[in-house]
């Protein structure tokens, strides 16, 4: 049976539209780092390169005559982004966000049975079949977020500060501390196909 993250991992990917605490274990990811405005053509190309790799890994394992131990077909995980601002922006921050000063790691989670060696193999194959200069920047990483606060944000990305304000209030009420202004976003909707007011995004940041 195919592993469907929307059905099997609801606590991780389908939270309610109110803050909650979650402990996020170590997961495998393919990651691409960048900086600048997410509305740019380069950002869109970065997403395309990541998905080329994600589907390359999935299809090559599906066709493999000797799949790794624990293999199970799966639905490709959603795009995620970890967002910060540049050191220059931090030094001159006035309360207004300049999207051109954003720094990010965008990523797509991989199943436990995907490892560095297989990633390297598929990367070389993908570079030959679908050449893209950004492929050389994609890396395989194991990431642990640990204890976090998260909630579902519905609507425009520009309205996310309203949800973050609710999360900050929840943190204070539960006597937790936000570790940093860095946060993770998980994109449950395709912004190219879904109306802005119906976009669904998981917002998450680390606490202790």
Q: pLDDT tens digits for 145-198?
A: 999 999 999 999 999 999 999 999 999 999 999 999 999 999 999 888 999 999
The CA distances from residue 76 to 108, 122, 169, in Å, are 8, 16, 34
- Beta-strand ranges (E) seen in 36-110 are 79-85, 102-110
Q: Is the dihedral of CA 37, 42, 44, 48 positive or negative?
A: negative
How much is the pTM? 0.95
Q: pLDDT tens digits for 100-145?
A: 999 999 999 999 999 999 999 999 999 998 888 999 999 999 999 9
């Amino acid at each position: 049976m195919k592993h469907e993250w929307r059905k099997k991992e609801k606590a991780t990917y389908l939270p309610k539209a109110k803050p909650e605490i979650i402990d996020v274990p170590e997961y495998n990811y393919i990651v691409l780092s960048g900086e600048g405005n997410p509305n740019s053509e380069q950002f869109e190309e970065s997403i395309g390169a990541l998905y080329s790799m994600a589907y390359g890994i999935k299809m090559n394992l599906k066709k493999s005559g000797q799949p790794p131990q624990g293999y199970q077909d799966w639905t490709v995980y959603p795009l995620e982004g970890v967002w910060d601002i540049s050191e220059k922006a931090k030094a001159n921050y006035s309360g207004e966000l300049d999207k051109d000063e954003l720094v990010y790691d965008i990523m797509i989670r991989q199943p436990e049975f995907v490892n560095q060696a297989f990633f390297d193999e598929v990367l070389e194959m993908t570079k030959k079949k679908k050449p893209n200069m950004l492929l050389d920047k994609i890396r395989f990483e194991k990431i642990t977020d640990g204890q976090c606060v998260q909630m579902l944000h519905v609507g425009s990305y520009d309205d996310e500060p309203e949800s973050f304000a609710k999360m900050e209030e929840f943190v204070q009420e539960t006597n937790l501390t936000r570790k940093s202004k860095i946060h993770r976003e998980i994109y449950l909707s395709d912004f190219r196909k879904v109306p802005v007011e119906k976009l669904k995004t998981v917002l998450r940041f680390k606490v202790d």
